[in-house]
């Protein structure tokens, strides 16, 4: 007998302010680390796919950079990724940090959503940190500004509310094909995954000192049966930032390298050789070709 329920599939733009928990949500839903997560806002710089096969559906989540007003070329490119995702989506999830008060940045995010007007779910995140009644004014505020299909309190970190979110997504997605084979969970090339893991460790190790100014370029990526060799350049903006990454007698760079290597070995077993080199590139965030190189769908990386 033919299956009476049609297969559903489509693209879901996961958007929201920096630090709202977009990447955490995508990782938890996919069940693998697709996108790096740190406590520092503006961690994600690309549009990153996380692919989830779930109860007669293929849900293609697009993690995006946080919505903000861009000043540098890098930030402009980040916002271009947000707009592309809002253009290509079937459905959007606006994710909000419910432990924060509503502010101008949230208004700006709502304005952007209204401009593209996708069918949207509002996910009120980080409910593990708050008392339930404090959600009410937020729900009131958001439902006055946009006609959300659903408003769902979640904890992307702990998984609360995610079954409800998934059911709502499947309901809103159109009938469609399986876009990706079932064993694929992201579209990122290995080199890009490697550079992101290194960048995550740098941000985690240096966050008070260097929030936004590093980029990681993979110079060489050699996969052999027994070992994967990765040579990468860590770019900073100023000479004064170099010692922050390197640390006393190289201690911090060594720590960054060890943490990155341990995680990279899970992706590229059994062994990874990682070589990191720190370079100063003044104003790299406004350097057109360098910023373009960070876009793995277009750049040479
Ligand atoms: N307590 C709590 N923390 C969370 C939750 N979701 C995310 N976080 C934390 O919030 C911080 C930011 O999470 P990310 O997933 O990197 O946020 P993002 O929206 O992707 O941030 P950008 O990429 O910078 O725009 C991290 O420290 C997460 O651990 C949650 O449900 N509860
Ligand atoms: Mg992110």
pLDDT tens by residue, 43-78: 999 999 999 998 899 999 999 999 999 999 999 999
Residue with CA nearest ligand 1 atom 21: 19
Q: How far does residue 284's CA lie from ligand 1's centre (Å)?
A: 26
Q: How far does residue 23's CA lie from ligand 2's centre (Å)?
A: 4
Residue with CA nearest ligand 1 atom 9: 21
Identify the nearest ligand to the CA of 95 by its number: 1
Mean pLDDT on 263-270:
96
Q: What is the pLDDT of residue 213?
A: 86
Ligand 1 atom closest to 156 (CA): 31
| Residues 289 and 235 sit within 8 Å (Cβ to Cβ) | no
Mutate which of 14, 18, 19 for ligand 1? The one with the most ligand atoms within 8 Å of its CB, which is 19
Whole-number average pLDDT of the chain: 95
pTM as predicted: 0.96
Task: Give the residues surrounding ligand 1 with Cβ less than 6 Å away.
Answer: 16, 18-24, 37-39, 41-44, 65-66, 125-126, 128-129, 155-157
């Amino acid at each position: 007998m033919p299956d009476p329920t049609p297969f559903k599939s489509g693209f879901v733009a996961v958007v929201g302010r920096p630090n709202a928990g977009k990447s955490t949500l995508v990782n938890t839903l996919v069940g693998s680390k697709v996108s790096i997560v740190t406590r520092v806002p503006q961690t994600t710089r690309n549009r990153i796919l996380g692919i989830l096969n779930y109860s007669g559906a293929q849900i293609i989540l697009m993690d995006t950079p946080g919505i903000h007003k861009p000043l540098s070329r890098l930030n402009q490119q980040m916002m271009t990724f947000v707009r592309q995702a809002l253009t290509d989506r079937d459905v959007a999830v606006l994710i909000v940090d419910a432990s924060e008060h509503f502010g101008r940045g949230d208004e700006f995010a709502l304005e952007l959503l209204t401009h593209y007007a996708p069918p949207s779910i509002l996910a009120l995140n980080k409910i593990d940190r708050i008392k339930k009644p404090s959600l009410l004014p937020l729900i009131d505020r958001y439902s006055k500004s946009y006609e959300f299909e659903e408003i769902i309190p979640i904890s992307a970190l702990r998984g609360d509310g995610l079954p409800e979110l998934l059911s709502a997504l499947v309901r809103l997605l159109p009938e469609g094909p399986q876009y990706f084979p079932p064993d694929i969970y992201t579209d990122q090339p290995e080199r890009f995954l490697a550079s992101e893991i290194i960048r995550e460790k740098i941000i985690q190790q240096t966050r008070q000192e260097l929030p936004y100014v590093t980029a990681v370029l993979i110079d060489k990526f050699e996969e052999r049966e027994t070992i994967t060799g990765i040579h990468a350049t860590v770019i900073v903006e100023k000479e004064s930032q170099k010692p922050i990454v390197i640390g006393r007698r190289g201690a911090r760079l060594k720590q960054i390298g060890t943490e990155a290597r341990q995680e990279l070995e899970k992706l590229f077993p059994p062994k990874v050789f990682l070589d990191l080199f720190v370079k100063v590139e003044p104003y790299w965030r406004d350097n057109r070709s360098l910023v373009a190189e960070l876009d793995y769908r277009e750049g040479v990386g």
